[in-house]
Amino acid sequence: MPETPAPARHDPYAALRYPEFRALAVGAFLLSCGLLIQEVALAYEIYRVTHDPLSLGLIGLAEAVPFIMLALFGGHLADRREKRGIIRAAIAVIFAGSLALAALSWPGVRAQLAHHVWLFSAYGLIALVGFARGFYSPAASSLRAFLVPREVYGNSATWWSTFFQTGAILGPVSAGFLFALGGLSGTLAVVVAMFTGSLVLISFVQPRPVVPSPNAGNLWASLREGVDYVFRTKIMLYAISLDMFSVLFGGVVALLPVFAEDILRVGPEGLGVLRAAPAIGALLTVVWCAYHPPLARPWRNLLLAVLGFGLATLVFAVSKLFWLSIAALFATGAFDSISVVIRNTILQTVPPDHLRGRVQAVNSIFISSSNELGAFESGLAARLLGTVPSVIAGAAVTCGVVAWMWRRSRELFTVKL
* pLDDT value for 211: 66
Residue 276 to residue 272: CA distance in whole angstroms: 6
What value, to the nearest 5°, has the Cα angle with vertex 287 and ends 314 and 402?
Answer: 35
* pLDDT value for 4: 41
Residue 365 to residue 65: CA distance in whole angstroms: 10
**How many Å is the Cα radius of gyration of the chain?**
21
* pLDDT value for 5: 41
* pLDDT value for 186: 87
Tell whether the torsion through CA atoms of 249, 253, 255 and 260 is positive or negative.
positive
Contact 277, 183 (CB under 8 A): no
- Tell me the pTM: 0.67
- For residue 331, which of 317, 313, 344, 343 has the smallest C-alpha distance? 313
- For residue 46, which of 101, 112, 94 has the smallest C-alpha distance? 101
Residue 178 to residue 172: CA distance in whole angstroms: 10
* pLDDT value for 6: 43
Residue 158 to residue 136: CA distance in whole angstroms: 20
Residue 267 to residue 270: CA distance in whole angstroms: 5
Residue 270 to residue 172: CA distance in whole angstroms: 10
Taken as a whole, the chain contains a residue count of: 417
Angle between helices 267-291 and 153-202 (to 10 degrees): 130
Contact 48, 202 (CB under 8 A): no
Contact 350, 157 (CB under 8 A): no
Residue 370 to residue 377: CA distance in whole angstroms: 9
- For residue 234, which of 413, 414, 409 has the smallest C-alpha distance? 409
Sequence-distant (≥ 6) Cβ neighbours of residue 224 within 8 angstroms: none
- List per-residue pLDDT tens for the chain, 417 residues long: 344 444 456 677 888 889 999 999 999 999 989 998 998 888 888 888 787 777 777 787 787 788 777 777 777 787 778 888 899 999 999 999 999 988 888 877 777 877 778 888 888 898 998 889 888 888 887 788 788 887 887 788 778 877 876 777 778 778 877 887 888 888 999 999 999 999 999 989 888 777 665 555 566 676 677 778 888 888 888 888 887 777 777 677 778 888 887 888 887 778 878 877 887 888 788 778 877 877 788 888 889 999 999 999 999 998 988 999 999 999 998 998 888 888 878 877 777 767 776 777 777 777 655 666 666 667 777 778 888 888 888 888 888 989 898 888 888 887 776
Q: Which DSSP string corresponds to 97-114? A: HHHHHHHHHSHHHHTTS-
User: DSSP code of 205?
Assistant: S
CA distances from 212 to 72, 206, 215, 347 (A): 18, 19, 9, 20
Contact 167, 33 (CB under 8 A): yes
- For residue 334, which of 294, 285, 300, 292 has the smallest C-alpha distance? 285
Residue 251, Cα to own-chain centre: how many angstroms?
12
Residue 322 to residue 337: CA distance in whole angstroms: 23
Residue 12 to residue 16: CA distance in whole angstroms: 9
Residue 222, Cα to own-chain centre: how many angstroms?
25
Tell whether the torsion through CA atoms of 270, 276, 281 and 287 is positive or negative.
negative
Residue 70 to residue 78: CA distance in whole angstroms: 12
By CB atoms closer than 10 A (0-12, 13-18, 19+), residue 115 is exposed
Q: Which DSSP string corresponds to 342-358? A: HHHHHHHHSS-GGGHHH
